[in-house]
């Protein structure tokens, strides 16, 4: 008889920190490699290696609300549903392009006005989901993108898996926007803030780029344990503006923290910079 596996419960993520959900740095490479092999078997696409030197953008713009300089480059919001407006309002004036990815819901609805039948397929016609170790859900067979306008900004909708959009269609990011996702019940179960994809994501951020998130799908790792020199986790949920942590040779600094709303954690923005040789 089928026995249900015990799953991490995302709604329970305010529970005490869970030591087990931390990954030792020496174990990360092994996990990354096996996740990468699985992904490659499924999609022909491997996970990229860690990039020691982040790419430096040619230009930056001062963010009016937070007083920080953001490199000019693309914003990426995977698993976006129809949630496009706030990302455009908060970051539209500073980034070069807005990219939203969702193989199911978003492109279908965002593209209502776009007369292309391939954007209006039913969910079942649009792709196949598979759960991979460390990465979570990956959807294959979904593709297609279109342009639309949100809050006066030009945007791209990718009718495609979030991770595959990052790996195949985008370069280094100025902003990664990710919120209100979950591991089940309509959530993507794509594990952007767990050690393996978190490492991939940090590697793909431009120097000075910003991660804006409520910590969705970070699992137990998101309950207050920051990474340190020996352990990889995720972003701590209870950070305050000015808090810093280091990850490999990057410094992550909290530049904004919002209020908790409903069962969601507060949203926070983290700026990621190369750690200087002096250690700051």
Ligand X SMILES: C[S@@+](CC[C@H](N)C(=O)[O-])C[C@H]1O[C@@H](n2cnc3c(N)ncnc32)[C@H](O)[C@@H]1O
Residues that bind ligand X (CB under 6 A): 78-81, 83, 101-106, 137-139, 161-162, 179-182, 186-188, 190
Which residue number, 16 or 186, has a Cβ lying nearer to ligand X? 186
In the complex, residue closest to ligand X by CB: 81
Q: CB 33 → ligand X: shortest distance, Å? A: 21
d(CA 265, CA 77): 18
Q: Which two tokens stand for residue 139?
A: 């959807």
Do 154 and 139 form a contact (C-beta atoms < 8 A)?
Answer: no
Which residue number, 164 or 226, has a Cβ lying nearer to ligand X? 164
CA 103 to chain CA mean position, Å: 15
Q: CB 158 → ligand X: shortest distance, Å? A: 9
Q: CB 45 → ligand X: shortest distance, Å? A: 13
| DSSP3 helix / strand / coil % (the chain, rounded to 5) | 25, 30, 50
Which residue number, 139 or 252, has a Cβ lying nearer to ligand X? 139
- Sign of CA pseudo-dihedral 114, 120, 123, 125: negative
Which residue number, 182 or 223, has a Cβ lying nearer to ligand X? 182
* SS3 of residue 137 by DSSP: strand
Q: CB 189 → ligand X: shortest distance, Å? A: 7
Comparing C-alpha atoms, which of 47, 9, 18, 64 is closest to residue 184? 9
Q: CB 190 → ligand X: shortest distance, Å? A: 5
CA angle 147, 116, 149 (to 5 degrees): 20
Which residue number, 103 or 208, has a Cβ lying nearer to ligand X? 103
């Amino acid at each position: 008889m089928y026995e249900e596996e015990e799953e991490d419960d995302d709604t329970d993520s305010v529970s005490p920190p869970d030591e087990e959900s931390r990954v030792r740095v020496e174990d990360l490479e092994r996990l990354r490699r096996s996740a990468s092999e699985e992904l490659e078997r499924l999609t022909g696409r491997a996970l990229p290696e860690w990039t020691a030197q982040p790419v430096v953008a040619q230009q930056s713009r001062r963010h009016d609300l937070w007083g920080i300089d953001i490199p000019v480059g693309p914003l990426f919001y995977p698993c976006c549903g129809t949630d496009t407006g706030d990302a455009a309002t908060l970051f539209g004036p500073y980034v070069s392009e807005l990219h939203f990815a969702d193989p199911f819901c978003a492109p279908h609805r965002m593209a209502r006005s776009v007369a292309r039948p391939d954007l209006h397929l039913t969910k079942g016609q649009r792709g196949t989901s598979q759960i991979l170790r460390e990465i979570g859900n990956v959807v294959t067979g979904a593709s297609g993108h279109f342009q639309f306008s949100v809050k006066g900004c030009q945007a791209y909708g990718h009718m495609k898996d979030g991770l595959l959009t990052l790996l195949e269609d985008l370069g280094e990011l100025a902003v990664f926007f990710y919120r209100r996702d979950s591991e089940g019940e309509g959530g993507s179960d794509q594990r952007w803030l767990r050690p393996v994809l978190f490492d991939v994501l940090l590697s793909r951020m431009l120097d000075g780029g910003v991660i804006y998130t409520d910590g969705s799908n970070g699992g137990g790792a998101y309950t207050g344990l920051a990474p340190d020199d020996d352990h990889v986790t995720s972003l701590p949920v209870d950070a305050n503006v000015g808090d810093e942590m280091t990850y490999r040779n990057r410094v992550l600094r909290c530049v904004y923290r919002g209020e908790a709303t409903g069962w969601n954690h507060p949203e926070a923005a983290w700026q990621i910079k190369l750690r200087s040789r002096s250690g700051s």
